Every structure is written in C-alpha cells, then in structure tokens.
Amino acid sequence: MSVNVLFAADDRLWHNYHEPLRTALAEAGVDAHLATDIPAAQVDYIVYSPGSEVQDFTPFTRCKAVLNLWAGVENVAHNPTLTQPLARMVDEGLTQGMVEWVAGHCLRHHLGLDTHILHQDGTWRHDPPPLAADRPVTILGLGALGRACGAALAEFGFPVTGWARSAHEVPGITCLHGPEGLKTALARAHILVLLLPHTPETESLLNAARLALLPRGAVVLNPGRGALIDDDALLAALDAGQVGHATLDTFRTEPLPPEHPFWTHPQVTVTPHIASETRPASAARVIAENVRRGEAGEALLHLVDRDRGY
C-alpha cells in the first residue's frame, strides 16, 4: 500500500524539494504518494518547516512522524497539539556547509585577513599571525555540528575546547560540561563558536557576565541561534574592546532589520543565515530513510527530546 507523505512547508520550497524527495523515496524502496494537499486523516508522514500553514496537528490522526526540514525545531517542538514523533534535520550537506563556514571564518580572523583586504593603502604591515596551535578555539555545543566543526579545526592545529550541558567524549576536543566547565571554556576562547540549540536554558547565554570571561579582544562567531546572544551586551562588549569582532549568521529577528546596529558596527560582520543551509538532495535522503524506517518498524533517526527541546 502506498504511503501518504504530506509536504507541509512554504510553497517556494515545494519547487526545490518535490523531485529530490520523490527520487529519494523511490531509491529507499518506499512506495509513496507525495503531495501538498493530502487530507489530514490520510497522512502517514509530514515533511515540515515551521513556516507551514499546518499549526494544529490534531487532525493528523494516523500520522507516524513529523520530519522537520531544518536543524532548528524550537518553533515546533513545544506545540501542544504535536503528539507525533518529531525528527530534526541532520544531513551531510547541512553539516558540511556549517564546517566550511566555521572553518572559513575562524581562519579569516586567525590570519587577520580583514586587515589585509580592507587596508590596501601602501603601508607594509609586517605583523604575522601566531600559528593555529597558539589560538585556542572554544565551541559551545557538541551535537553533530559542533563535533564536526571541532574535528575540522583540530585538523588545522587549533586547540579546541568543546562545552555542553552534559559530559561528552570527542577525539581531538577537550570536552567540558556544567556551569564551571562553561566558565573555563569561555576563559580559553580566543575564538568562540556558538552552536547550541535555542532552549529556555540557552536564551541569552552569552550575556554581559559571560562576555567578560572571554580573553580581551576575543572573536565571537554565531552560526547557531540568534537568541543565544544578548545583543545589547555584545554591542557594549564590542564598544569596550572586550570583544574584538563578532561574525554573526543568525539573529533574533530575520531578516535582520535594516535599522539594527549590527549592520553598521565596524566590528561586526553580518552573513544572511547561510552557514548551514539545508540542501534538497541530501535532506531528501534523510527524510526518505526515516520514512523507510517508520514503515519497517525501525527506530527513527534524529528524534527530538521534547523536554530538552532538541
């Protein structure tokens, strides 16, 4: 019997995803009817993005799982009508994109590329950077993205410290956890990378008190979630020189409003939420595998813990 898969996302995404999804489902051996207009009572799986018109999951009485297109699930995980299993997106394209963004901007700041690119004024500035071994990097968040970014940076020779709420062991990364571990991780961070999910516990995690723990002049990279940062505290730390530069890819309001001071601050770089874009081809394979698993009675991949919010 055919499986009914509802694509419940922005209409513009349907154009990009319907062919990769159909191909991936067929390759996974799933006989699937994929559409945007399946009656709720007949839906077996929902491919979902938070911008969807679907906000009440109650009518989807036979739905076996909601499969999120994005890594972030904070806009759906706590929906009281969602009683079905929820899986977030973890895929090779998203991970590789994040690794490239983080590695690129770490190297940019480590090598001082902005100085060379922006100040071609005939002045010979012979000021070589330290080697990577002398530039400690801290990553807050040791999920799939944090581990992958940490491994890549360690390959360049950066000493990498990773922090999470609970204990982890990751080869090549010094892993810390808990409140005291966070203080130590921040104190080591010449470059700080934020890759935590947005939960009530991580809201404004990087506030004035924690920014003060960083070595003076540290660089902050945020490709994680905009709400991890207290914007006013970061701007104050930049103005005071406590933070040397902030390169930010995610924001509390997106698109970032034109009047926001991040746009014009000389020590802030804004990138438009491009660090870990979901790629249709690779994301479709993840979704198809979860549908196959659901039909085979196997455990789904990347299930969200509703209590933790990710």
Burial 138-157 (b: 16+ CB within 10 A, else e): bbbbbbbbbbbbbebbbebe
Structure tokens at 75: 């806009």
**Given the structure tokens 């010979």, which residue do they identify?**
124
Residue 108 is among the residues annotated as catalytic for this protein = no
Task: Give Cβ neighbours of residue 32 (< 8 Å, ≥ 6 apart).
Answer: 2, 3, 4, 5, 22, 25, 26, 291
Contact 98, 275 (CB under 8 A): yes
| CA–CA separation, 176 and 178 (whole Å) | 7
Residue 293 is among the residues annotated as catalytic for this protein = no
Structure tokens at 20: 């990769």
| CA–CA separation, 249 and 277 (whole Å) | 11
Within 13 Å, how many C-alpha atoms sit on residue 235's CB side? 9
**Given the structure tokens 């490239």, which residue do they identify?**
100
Catalytic member of 110, 190, 210, 225: 225
| CA–CA separation, 269 and 84 (whole Å) | 40
In terms of Cα–Cα distance, which of 64, 66, 94, 62 is closest to 79?
A: 66
Concatenating the DSSP letter of every residue in 61-89 gives: TT--EEEESSS--TTTTT-TT--S-EE--
Catalytic member of 33, 165, 273, 293: 273
Enzyme catalytic residues:
225, 273
